[in-house]
Chains A and B, each alone.
Chain A
């Protein structure tokens, strides 16, 4: 070293590419977020923090944060726990495990946009298979009893399902009470197979000796062994799964675009959809960039949390 500058030549392709492809676009978005630039117009004005201020001012943006965060808060825990549960069930199977792995992984491999249209048919308020089943179920005794909770002693007509039976079945995607829930359901359906695969990998890396040791030490129930061995040994997997699921949930777009377009009354107006609407549909590059930067902030925060946990809490060796 020292005598030549060849080391700069060696690293320059990587550095230049990283700058052009990764850093420059963020920088450009950051710059645009302080302007009122519209795609097509020839000039723009610097407007300072006005774009950011409007995030707090307009109700559509507060609805956006509510929708995105609600989606994440529903999808992440449910899909993570479902993933863990199905992974543990599958790994305990003596045969047939491969079959279930393939089935549960199917939604991950399928194009979400195409699957969204399939769900649209299923969730259709009139012709959809789901409402058809619920509707017919009203006249099937055990089905009605089960879902109204009358088998537990509740008054069937006061329950949610009982109410639907006497009125009519919900419009899953068109009613703002149900729309985000329906989108979240599809999100969970799609995400948990991926989490399952990650947990399966995590489970196989737990040494069998630890379970034997736990048994010898007196852990005589599956739950004790789960608490003592499985759950803590999956620590690194938990951090990775939660982070990746959170980031992916923040990025939800396909289902919203295909099924609800942010509606009804902005109840499913998630961040990436807002970005798309402002920046692409309405050509408001300035506002779109602002949303991008805020979105980036969220993702960065999640990633930093992950790094913190990996370094501090779950790194055992």
Chain B
């Protein structure tokens, strides 16, 4: 278990600044997810923590010890790679043995042939094999021990990769998109397994992903990273419900959050596309703002409703449990995604006109530049 702190980390490749003065602290035993679109620098960040890449400036601190000059093999972290990076010429058991052999046996004890004559080696090896077996049992891969990685399915390879990270009880796990090569069903399953593994091992996990669903479901806290900066670092529910800006709001949540332009007057009242709404700004300021609201906070209304949005259905997604309707609003070019109960929207067809309402207390206000604005509901 380790506490990991990053202070003012930045990284440039030539002129390209991929990480800009970034701070992050991970508590002991915490499961933290770094989530962001591809190319935001999150994998580079993980490699800097691991010591595989050196930062241009800033400090990496593990358990209070500054490790900037400490090489990867001495940091005692384990890493699971997106490609799994298993040694293809070694069996599953040998793959799991590698980190133990390299760390627990002396150079002489690893020397071929000669090592047979070393008295302690035998008992050491038995101990290591025991550890490998324990890890394999936790991951349920004992029946695969003699196989080569090439003979395993993606999910099995993934477990072996996790096992190889696990056997030597590192101070922290680093995971670089470990699930992105798996098919959808297996991914959901492994999500639960990795969370459970974290509960069992109680070790610090840093998990990098581009999939916001993984971040929301698995982590204690998540850090949303974009363009080399961490925009928000908080619990999943806080990030989902109170994003600091429009970028975070748009990245987290599927389908994407709806955004409509609105006007605020000097008293703090807000009108959206001509409709006055029962929401006001805490610090009144006249000008144009944006309103964000998630598809699940909208609903289809009956055709005789007033004071609501009206638009034409352009696309219908039936997910079984929910139906998502993509709607072009009547007044202008604005689009909106509406979630509906299946029985309410079953008859809706593409091209139909519908009336849409929203849960006003869930609506978020943003400035033109995307910064979140505090609001209160009118009473």
Count residues of A near B (Cβ-Cβ below 8 Å). Answer: 21
Residues 196-209 of chain A, each 1 if its beta carbon lies under 8 Å from chain B, else 0: 00000000000101
Q: Contacts A233-B88, A317-B88 hold; do A216 and B83 have CB atoms under 8 A apart?
A: no
**Which A residues are CB-close (under 8 A) to B85?**
207, 209-210, 212-213
Is B77 close to A, CB under 8 A? yes
State whether A215 touches B71 (Cβ < 8 A). Answer: yes
CB-CB contacts below 8 Å: A220-237 with B: 220, 224, 228-229, 232-233, 235
- Which B residues form the contact surface with A (CB < 8 A)? 47, 50-52, 71-74, 77-79, 81-83, 85-90, 98-99, 102-103, 148-150, 164
A-B contact pairs, 13 of them (CB 8 A): A207-B83, A207-B85, A209-B82, A210-B87, A212-B79, A213-B87, A216-B50, A216-B72, A216-B73, A216-B79, A217-B73, A218-B103, A232-B87
Which of A214, A218, A233 has most chain B Cβ within 10 Å? A218
Question: B71 to chain A: which residues have CB within 8 Å?
Answer: 215, 220
CB neighbours of B150 from chain A (8 A): 316-317
Residues of B within 8 A of A229 (CB): 87
CB-CB under 8 A for A215 and B88, given A220-B71, A316-B150? no
Determine the distance from Cα of A91 to Cα of B295 in the docked complex, in whole angstroms: 53
Chain A's nearest CB lies how many Å from the CB of B124?
Answer: 15
Chain A's nearest CB lies how many Å from the CB of B193?
Answer: 21
Min distance, Cβ B207 to any Cβ of chain A, angstroms: 16
Interface SS of chain A: helix, strand, loop or mixed?
A: helix
Find out whether the CB atom of B102 lies under 8 angstroms from the CB atom of A213. no
A210 to B149, CA, bound (A): 13
> Does residue A130 face the partner (Cβ distance < 8 Å to B)?
no
CA distance A232 to B150 in the complex (A): 15
Please measure, in the bound complex, the distance between the C-alpha atom of A213 and the C-alpha atom of B77, giving whole angstroms.
11
Q: Are A215 and B72 in contact (CB under 8 A)?
A: yes
Check A217–B89 contact: CB distance below 8 A.
no
| 6 interchain residue pairs of minimum CB distance | A218-B102, A317-B150, A213-B85, A316-B88, A209-B85, A220-B73
CB contacts (< 8 Å) of A219 on chain B: these are: 73, 102
Chain B residues with Cβ under 8 A from A212's Cβ? 47, 50, 52, 72, 79, 81, 85
Q: Roughly how many angstroms separate A217 CA and B90 CA in the complex, as a whole number?
A: 14
Shortest distance from the beta carbon of A194 to any chain B beta carbon, whole Å: 25
